[in-house]
Structure 1
Amino acid sequence: MTTTTAQVLQAHAVTRVFRGRSAAVHALRGVSLGVAPGELLVVRGPSGSGKTTLLNVLGGLDRPTTGRVLLGDRELSALPEDEVLALRRTRLGYVFQSFGLIPVLSAAENVEVPLRLLEVPVAERDERVRRALETVGLAGHAHQRPAELSGGQQQRVGIARALVAEPDVLLADEPTGQLDSRTAAVVSDLVRDLTHRRGLAAVITTHDPVLMERADRVVDLVDGELHG
């Protein structure tokens, strides 16, 4: 399922070069892509192909060496760091392969973190956290800490945290990489359904064929170059 709405996240001829002591590493080579609201775009490629670097550049965690990244009508790659940070907190949601949860916090408290950073009032914060956990099927696990949850449940907490601030864009780096095949299928279905239902522009890196099957579009990243 895709929409005809204009692309909300775009990369134009993006390169990323890391300077080493002996040689430069070209992690991205002229990458151009775009993703529209309601579209699940999967980027596949072998380890070391530049997938994580691409997500970091798309999400404003890193800046391209050359080229442009646009979030709506804002050139993310040219903004001051404080403006980039504000956009990351409000318009971009991240899901990490390693779950990225804070061990001493409960599921609800982990989901709440982005709203605390945005200084959302307590009553609204509690309601949004409740809804987010309900959306990912974890309403009954709000008070459990990560160590008390399965891998799939932890990843669903991570998805709830990524979406609680109601972003326009979802970026996920190998979100099923640490899950067994059955749990990976459940998480893949959840990501697809949330993308379509909420009209998210989602960019997911993965090796997982199950997640690729759920995608609206699949492109290949090989040695920093995009194909497809």
Structure 2
Amino acid sequence: MSSAAALRARGIGRVFTSAGGVVHACNAVDFDLFPAELVVVRGPSGAGKTTLLNLLAGLDTPTAGEVWIGDRKITDMAENMAVEMRRSLIGYVFQSFGLLPMLSATENVEVPLRLLRVNPSERTVRVAEMLARVGLSEHAEQRPAELSGGQQQRVGIARALVNRPRVLFADEPTGQLDSASASTIMNLIGTLVRADGISAVIATHDPLLVARADRVFDIHDGRLSEHRRGGRHAVQ
């Protein structure tokens, strides 16, 4: 494995069995993600985008194949080690925001730092900085129900980045937003990823983020292929 890759997957597959038969949601995928690279994965509903992101992020276990983040192979980690790895190296932005309804914006963003046992004074500083970066300092004490959809997703982005992850995953981050809010979120993700040098894999159809991407992949029936348009890196 090349040490240049921030994330690498080889031959990963995920098979689901149901009454309707066997579904190959992810099929023999090879994938490299490089430092400070923004990659978009696009495809129709049911094509395997979410399954792929979950496998790469260690949220699901592949039926076949292997995934590394840096030089750490995550597909055969003990569960307690995998949990610590996800907390420290990965950020995840969900389409449905995934905020805890009884917590304020500040408290939601603080959750990953509490799980990492960051000391309270540092937590306070880092949370305030992230809320400022996503333009929500004035809404820090509001709960999700008091925020618009776009504001809730900005809280989700702040939460995903507050632990300073190596890799960011975002699954249709504008899927529940109006066009104006979606534009704001797309620009925000692109700007923050570039500024922090984070490697990012984003499932989206949004043309604004597709235009920002270093590389674009299409997924159909669980198979991944690169959309050739040039870019900083070639598929290995």
Q: TM-score range by the shorter chain?
A: over 0.9
Q: Which moved more, 1:168-177 or 1:203-212?
A: 203-212
Q: Give the drift of 1:20.
A: 2.1
Residue in 1 that maps onto 2:140? 142
Determine the C-alpha separation between the residues in 2 that align with 1:141 and 1:128. Answer: 16
User: Per the alignment, in what secondary structure is the counterpart of residue 78 of structure 1?
Assistant: coil
Please tell me the root mean square deviation across aligned C-alpha atoms, in Å: 1.1
Match of 1:162 among 160, 163, 169: 160
Residue in 2 that maps onto 1:80? 78
Equivalent residues of 2:8, 2:32 under 8 A apart: yes
Residue in 1 that maps onto 2:67? 69
State the TM-score, normalized to the length of structure 2: 0.92
Equivalent residues of 2:187, 2:208 under 8 A apart: no
Percent identity at matched positions? 58
**Structure 1 counterpart of 2:12, one-letter code:** V
Equivalent residues of 1:44, 1:218 under 8 A apart: yes
Determine the C-alpha separation between the residues in 1 that align with 2:93 and 2:31. Answer: 20
Q: Give the drift of 1:22.
A: 5.0
Residue in 2 that maps onto 1:217? 215
Within 5 Å, give how 1:5-154 maps onto structure 2: 6-154=4-152
**Structure 2 counterpart of 1:127, one-letter code:** V
Q: Give the drift of 1:197.
A: 1.0
Determine the C-alpha separation between the residues in 2 that align with 1:197 and 1:32. Answer: 28
Q: Give the drift of 1:194.
A: 1.0
Equivalent residues of 1:188, 1:214 under 8 A apart: no
Residue in 1 that maps onto 2:232? none
User: Per the alignment, in what secondary structure is the counterpart of residue 113 of structure 2?
Assistant: helix
Within 5 Å, give how 1:185-196 maps onto structure 2: 185-196=183-194
User: Per the alignment, in what secondary structure is the counterpart of residue 171 of structure 1?
Assistant: strand
How many pairs are equivalent? 224
Q: Give the drift of 1:68.
A: 0.7
Residue in 1 that maps onto 2:205? 207
* Structure 2 residue runs without a partner (length 5+): 227-236
* Structure 1 residue runs without a partner (length 5+): none
